[in-house]
Amino acid sequence: MLAAGGEVIAFCDADDEVVDGWVQAAWDALITGLDVVTGYVHGYASQIAGPDGTEILRESHALRVPVPTCNCAVVREAFLRLGGFDESFNRYGHEDSEFSIRARLAGLRIGFYPPMQLRFSATEDLMTLSRKLFHSGQAEVRMWVRHPEVFPNQNDLKSVTDRFGQWVIKSVRRPLLMKERKHVRQGLTSFGNVVGVLKGKRKGWGNPELIPPANRK
């Protein structure tokens, strides 16, 4: 990010496909005065808004709604001012969620621009997806620790073990649920939460790894 020389930095994942005009759409949105913009992601489960700009998630959840880095753009100066991404999220997941929380708490102007669209490529390999979900569950705990004001009492061993235990009981009572992708995803993420809390209690989470203030130019 420090090597980027333009006024705007745009993000997408290497295995996704942006639609025609994606870069122009990002620029058009940001020059209206926004600091961060995202758009509609085809094939993505969690959306901030529909393709026409209609809000999907309630405003009360605003601080918890991430701007997905698979489809977003940010004013470089604002990105550096916040210190960029927290690179202690070094496995998989939630670095964009954590950045979104800091951006909202700092008062950055975040918007949704429908023409900025992207086609999401879902992970199909079961083992790869399982690893991602497990690591994402651990990263989620790191986010809870970084922002207890947004996630009060989430980093609690009893809470995460109870939640995982409920998932196990439900799976035993209704074994056909194990054929449902959503249920399996919930279990892997929940197990990752348990491991994350245990690791944190044993090793601690350390400090955020942001861009040093001297380099935020």
Pairing of strands 118-119, 71-75: unpaired
The C-alpha atoms of residue 56 and residue 143 are separated, in whole angstroms, by: 23
- 105 and 148 belong to one structural domain: no
* Residue 208: Cβ-neighbour burial (10 angstroms; 0-12, 13-18, 19+): middle
Domain boundary among 121, 139, 174: 121
Angle between helices 181-203 and 126-146 (to 10 degrees): 50
* % of the chain exceeding 70 in pLDDT: 90
Domain assignment present for 1: no
Domain assignment present for 133: yes
Please tell me the predicted confidence (pLDDT) of residue 47: 58
| Other CB atoms within 10 A of residue 92 CB | 16
- pLDDT digit string (tens) for 66-122? 788 889 999 999 999 999 999 999 888 899 999 999 999 999 998 888 889 999 888
Domain region containing 16: 8-121
Where residue 84 sits, what CATH number does that domain have? 3.90.550.10
Residue whose entry in the numeric block shows the structure tokens 């949105």:
29
Q: What 3-state class would DSSP assign to 128?
A: helix
Number of domains in the chain: 2
Domain boundary among 87, 121, 155: 121
